[in-house]
Structure formats: structure tokens, C-alpha cells
Structure 1
Amino acid sequence: MGTKIESDRTYKIGFIFLDEIHHIFHFISIATELSKTQKVSILTYPSNHDLLRRSIKELDGDNITVEELPTSAFRAFTDKIKGRELPRKGFWIKKNKKYILQTFDAVVFTDYFHKYLLRDRKPGKTPKLLKFPHGTPGRAYAFNKSQLDFDFQLIIGNFQYRHYKALGLLGNYPALVGYSKLDAVQHKQKEIFFKNNKPIVLYNPHFDPEFSSWKQEGLQILEYFYSQDAFNLIFAPHLHLFQENKGGHSASEIPEKFYQKKNILIDLGSLKSTDMSYLNAADFYLGDVSSQVYEFIISPRPCIFLNPNNLSYKNDINFRFWRCGEVINSAKELNETLAKATADFAKYRTVQKKITEENYYTEEGSTASERGAKAIVSYLDKALA
């Protein structure tokens, strides 16, 4: 059936993409839907952009224009000297601000680098600034007061809507549409990563040093899986964990022997870490505070969470995901917890289903991407009338 965009007007809509590849799936399917009736550009930096272009092609987004806008020559030079793969966002936006402000009716952000446009918009407050989430809201960082700077907010589920409302973060135009990332990756086939039928554990530590399990327990976890033969392990941490300016860790911390073990797959940041390939393949989830677990439990399965800092979490909404499975304090508990995880899963299945229903809004007969595109055009019809 689908949800058709009904408007007599055509808008110029720009999607800002200055981030790592994991941001792509959070906007690309809605951009594609919009491009069927609107003029859509993805505004980015000069690069090959293989995943971006491939995603556009796979979703039949032929009408989308990818505009590779440079940062200043001086900033490009210093970025190269410092080995930066991405431009510094503030300098890139300042360089291209005049073009963006004068060209587009609306600009979409998946981050919070909007302030450079916010303060210099035209008197009629155009372009309109639209905010997309780049994941399922989990911890406190997702509930940022800068949400109120945006003219329009894309909301993926009832939990996000209610929590934003309780925190006073709902703007004048929130649109509850669902999780468009699922539309962007739905064509992916389940992959086989090991030449055996042993159950697969996905270990997905976060990069935030305050909460991440990697520094205290990571190598002990790899050692546990190295020394046993009952399970396969996919070690696919948050992309930022082994980036010096983000997680602060180095890949050199991982001994070579773990790469050589046939029951261990290590991926520190490829496409498969972002497109749910590993999430779909795994039988168990092992992590700490990454909201990726919310994508994992869409298909309910056993989860184990690491709390090496012994944080008080039971009455803290920012640790809502830890309701989905057992919480342990160290890798020493892993053997016993894994052994009983399947048998104990019955008590978590209902919880996982309820959380998924709260996280992701759905409607019969239409996709989140269709609803999102329609909501954006409907908002612009009202705001720019």
C-alpha cells in the first residue's frame, strides 16, 4: 500500500553527511523516499563514498544528488597532515554555510553541528533544521537539550516520544514515524561467518571510557573465547573504540593470536559492524552500554551485560537495556552465565518484546521511511506556506 506524499510543492532538502559510515543507514531510506517527489541532495566531503553510493543504488535513489563540497584549502591541508579521514565539521560547515543557507528549504542533521546554520539563517528562519536520530535512544547523551534548536524532530518510537516529553525536549513539530534504518538494511541476507554450527556470541563494547567494558575486561573476554571450543565469537566494538581521538584505544592492544583463532572474528569498524550483519548472525549478545542491543532484540535472544564498574543501574532509565538480560561484573562470570543463558532466557523474552514495541513505532501498510518522508513534506507545507 505505502504512504503517498501529497503536496503540490517541491522542496530542496539537504542531508548533511560528515560522519562515519554508521550514520548512513539512519537517513538514506528517507532521503530516497523524499527524492521521488522532492529535490534531495546529500551534502558531504570529497571522498569515494562507496557505501553511500552503493546504498543509494540499492534503494533505487537515482534522483538523489551527492554534492561533494570541500572544506577550505588550509583546513584540508592540516587534516591531511594530521591523518584525518573526515573534515572537521565546524570548519566544513563554515566554508559551505552561505551555499547551504541560500539553497535549501530544509537541512537534515543526524548530529548536533547545526548551530553554525542556526545563528545565521534568513529572517524567515529558512532553511528549516530537521533532526534525525542516529540510533535508538538509550543513555542520557541521546537526550540532548539541543533537540529544542530544531524545527522538526523525527521520533522513532513511543519510548523516545514519552521520554522527550517528560524531559521537556519535544519541539513544536515532532513526528512519530518508526525506525527507518530497518528499511535501509532489510535486503541484507543472513551471512555465514564460521565453518561450524557452534553458537555465536557477539561482543560489542562501547567506546565511552566511563562505561565501556573493554579497558577492564576486554582482553580477558577474548582470552575466554580463545581457550574454549563451545562458542564462536564476533568481536565488533563501536567504531569509535579504537580511534585515538574518540575511544582512545589502539588496535595494537589486541594480541595477534586472537586474529588467528578460527572461532574468533575481529572487526574493528567495517560495513558489517553497522548494517546489522553481525547482529543478525549472532545467537548471544555480550556488551555494556551500546544501544545496538536494541537492534539485536528485535529478534529476541539471550543477552549478557558487563558492569565492571559496579554501577548502580536498577532504577536508572539510562540503563533500560540491562533489563534485557543478565548483568555480570567480570569475565570470570562468563562461563557460568553463558551455560545457563538459553535456559534462563524465558524470563527475558517478554521484556525484550515489550521494549522493542516501545522503541519502534510501526503501522500496517507503510514503512517508517514512507511515513518519515510524508511527515517532512507535510511539515514543510505548513511551515513554508
Structure 2
Amino acid sequence: METDNPSRKRIAFIFLDELHHIYHFISVAVELSRNHEVSILTHPAKHELLRNSIAELGGENLKIEELSTYAFRALTDKIKGRDLPRKGFWLKKNKNYIIKNFDAVVFTDYFHKYLLKAKKEGKPKLIKFQHGTPGRAYAFNKSQLDFDFQLLSGSFLYEQYKNMGLLGPHPVIVGYPKIDAVKNKKKKSFFKNKKPTILYNPHFDPEFSSWKQEGIQVLDFFYNHQDYNLIFAPHIHLFQRNKGGYSVSEIPEKYQNSENIRIDLGSIKSVDMSYLCAADIYLGDVSSQIYEFIISPRPCIFLNPKNINFSGDVFYRFWKCGEVIPSAKKLGEALAKSIADFGKYRTIQEQITAENYYTEEGSTASERAAKAIDEYLSANT
């Protein structure tokens, strides 16, 4: 892969993850492809959402390169029922190709170590994107310091990284590109009535998730209270064997057949903000999707079945956005007063959104991110 124009850089976006990562980088990749040679390096698959997103955003110059992992690893992945290749082996297999052909490589997660060790003379530059809004401690990872360039969504993340010593040599606040990637999605209702719709979005990590202790009780509450609609759309890892580890068989069939309950365990709608836009009230625990929900301020309720002492803990900042209850037994009462009490949470939600997502008149987050990468590579490659 050669280019005769030194101002045109060769940039790779690594995509070896589930659907929810796509919207965090795709609009920036499209913007960069207007002036640079940009490829999405991924594994062999249909990649329908990836291809459709590129087409919707006008990314005809954006390339998709499907690179395989080691043949033996591909075989064992198939035997073990893995839909995705193991990232370390894939990167080890393809690192020489990547180093030889690209000026910069963009990651949305932390699987860059093989490439970090194999870099030659500072190339390629490693660029870090978020794959969501910072919530739990996972976002504050010391591996941030491995990257040459960090793209941050807002002032809150910048200040936290600064306080924790996680700012690399070139951090830039650009905003939240996912908003641009899904802006053309039309709001729709998923029920044939105008009853209040609640989105239940438990996290997948058993250490933090409300699902094991309260999930069935939540479904049962709405099954028995037909004056509400429920969208049950958990983190897509919750029912994956190698992640959350829970089984779909745990969900009784009666809930799946209830007219006022919609269950979606991992479709495109569960990651493109469709359900966030459709819901009137958010019910969750520690998923950072809450930050996307409150872009348009609305009532929130949080489940804390483990009785976590969260007061003053920055990693539970999202629980400032609504009432925190210990169990589904308190759900009826919390729902009844959630709208009436919302006034005291609106200002908090608006402040948190302003801290989370930088905005600027006249440009989008994706445009600012592409410009920042362009300027950095022009000066450093």
C-alpha cells in the first residue's frame, strides 16, 4: 500500500469486536477517508452493519480488509463457538502487515500490546478511541499511556485522566462521534399503545450487574403491571458464554410472549440508540449507556442490590441522575414518583452531559476528531 502524496496518510481502524463498537469509530473513519487512505482491518465475516453504516455515511472511499488469524486458532475458535477471533493471536499474525502498511492504527479497546512491542522507529502511531462514555473503573486503564494520541469526549474525562496520570503526550477533546453515526436513525415506538416505556439495561459483569439478583423480578414486575411497557435490552455481553455467561434459558417464555415486554439480547437496535430514544424512563445499574440516554434528559432509576456504598465515588457518578433503589420490590414506588421528582435531577443530568460531551457550533465530533488526527499525523509522521 503506497501513496505518492505525503499529506495523505495510511490509517487503519481495528475492528475485532461486537456490534456496539462500530458506531464509536465509523463516522470518524468515513471523515478521514475523504482525504486519506483509510482501511478497517477486521476478521472474515458478513459485517452487514459495518458495510451498511459505511454506505449510509457516504464512505465509498473507505476500505474493509478482512484478515485471517492463524489457521489453527481459527479452527479452535470454531470448535469453541467463538464468533470473533482471539485478538492477541490475530494481531500477532497480522502485525508485520500492519506495521509495513500504515502510518497510524486506531483502537477502541486494549488489545494493542503485540503492536506496541513490534513498532519500528515510532511507527505506526497508536491512537486510542473510547468505545463508550467513561463510567466504571475499566475506562481508567493505565494502558492509556501506551498510546501516542488520545481522543477524548469531554472535559470530565480529560480532568479524570489528568488527576490519575493517564494523559498521554497528545490528548485532544473532540466530543462524542457516536452521536453523528446514529443521527439519522428515526425515533419509533415499539408498542401499539402510548403507555410509559421503560428501558431495562443491566450490565454484563456479574460483579456489578443487577441481572442475577433482580433481573427476573424486574421482568415479573412488568409482566404483572400492564400499565407500563418494558424494553429489556441488556448489554450485549450479558448472555454471551465467554462474557456475562448467563443463559437465555433463564428467561421464562411467558415474558417473551407478553405484549408489553420487548426482549432484545443483541440486535442492531440494542446498540444504535433506538431503544434509548424510545424510552421514557431508564432502569439500569452501572452501564454507561445511561450517559447516552440523558443527552435528552429523562427520569432514571438504578438498582443497587449489592448495597454498594457509592456516595462520593466517581465511578458511580451516573447514580446522581436518578433514584437508587435496593431491589425490584421498590420498583412500583420508584416508577410512580420518577416523573414527579424529575425536576431535581434534570439540572444534574444536563451538567453531566455538558461535562461528558464537548460540542462546538459549526462542526461535528466526527469532523473534529478527523481534523485532530490529520493535524497530529501531519506533524508527527
Q: TM-score range by the shorter chain?
A: over 0.9
Per the alignment, residue 84 of structure 1 pairs with 82
Per the alignment, residue 46 of structure 1 pairs with 44
1:249-260 alignment to 2 at 5 Å?
249-260=246-257
1:1-385 alignment to 2 at 5 Å?
9-122=7-120, 124-384=121-381
Query: d(CA) in 1 for partners of 2:6 and 2:342?
Result: 52
Please state how far the C-alpha of 1:210 moved relative to its aligned partner: 1.0
Q: Secondary structure at the match of 1:25?
A: helix
Q: Secondary structure at the match of 1:202?
A: strand
Please state how far the C-alpha of 1:99 moved relative to its aligned partner: 0.2
Please state how far the C-alpha of 1:365 moved relative to its aligned partner: 0.2
Q: Deviation string for 1:279-328 (max 9, x for gaps)?
A: 00000000000000000000000000000000000110100000000000
Q: Secondary structure at the match of 2:241?
A: coil
Please state how far the C-alpha of 1:127 moved relative to its aligned partner: 0.2
Q: Secondary structure at the match of 1:31?
A: helix
Q: Deviation string for 1:243-292 (max 9, x for gaps)?
A: 11111101110000000000000000110010000000000000000000
Per the alignment, residue 3 of structure 1 pairs with none
Q: Secondary structure at the match of 2:340?
A: helix
Greater RCO, CA 8 A, separation 6+: 1
Q: Deviation string for 1:181-229 (max 9, x for gaps)?
A: 0000000000120000101000000011111000000000000000011
Query: d(CA) in 2 for partners of 1:194 and 1:118?
Result: 49
Q: Runs of 4 or more off by more than 4 Å in structure 1?
A: none
Structure 1 length as normaliser, TM-score?
A: 0.97
Query: d(CA) in 2 for partners of 1:359 and 1:317?
Result: 13
**Letter of the structure 2 residue corresponding to residue 31 of structure 1:** A
Q: Secondary structure at the match of 1:241?
A: coil
Please state how far the C-alpha of 1:8 moved relative to its aligned partner: 6.6
Please state how far the C-alpha of 1:82 moved relative to its aligned partner: 1.1
Query: d(CA) in 2 for partners of 1:42 and 1:247?
Result: 27
Q: Secondary structure at the match of 1:119?
A: helix
Structure 2 length as normaliser, TM-score?
A: 0.98
Query: d(CA) in 2 for partners of 1:253 and 1:186?
Result: 35
Please state how far the C-alpha of 1:77 moved relative to its aligned partner: 1.0
Give structure 1 stretches of 5+ with no counterpart.
Answer: 1-6
**Letter of the structure 2 residue corresponding to residue 193 of structure 1:** F
Query: d(CA) in 2 for partners of 1:35 and 1:375?
Result: 14
Query: d(CA) in 2 for partners of 1:209 and 1:377?
Result: 40
Give structure 2 stretches of 5+ with no counterpart.
Answer: none
Q: Secondary structure at the match of 2:346?
A: helix
Q: Secondary structure at the match of 1:265?
A: strand
Query: d(CA) in 1 for partners of 2:49 and 2:119?
Result: 32
Query: d(CA) in 1 for partners of 2:81 and 2:287?
Result: 27
Query: d(CA) in 2 for partners of 1:116 and 1:20?
Result: 21
Query: d(CA) in 2 for partners of 1:335 and 1:54?
Result: 41
Please state how far the C-alpha of 1:348 moved relative to its aligned partner: 0.2
RMSD: 0.8
Q: Deviation string for 1:142-187 (max 9, x for gaps)?
A: 0000000000000000000010000000011001100000000000
**Letter of the structure 2 residue corresponding to residue 264 of structure 1:** I
Per the alignment, residue 4 of structure 1 pairs with none
Query: d(CA) in 2 for partners of 1:127 and 1:43?
Result: 14
Query: d(CA) in 1 for partners of 2:242 and 2:39?
Result: 30
Q: Secondary structure at the match of 1:343?
A: coil
Q: Deviation string for 1:17-53 (max 9, x for gaps)?
A: 0000100000000000000000000000000000000
Q: Deviation string for 1:56-75 (max 9, x for gaps)?
A: 00000000000000111111
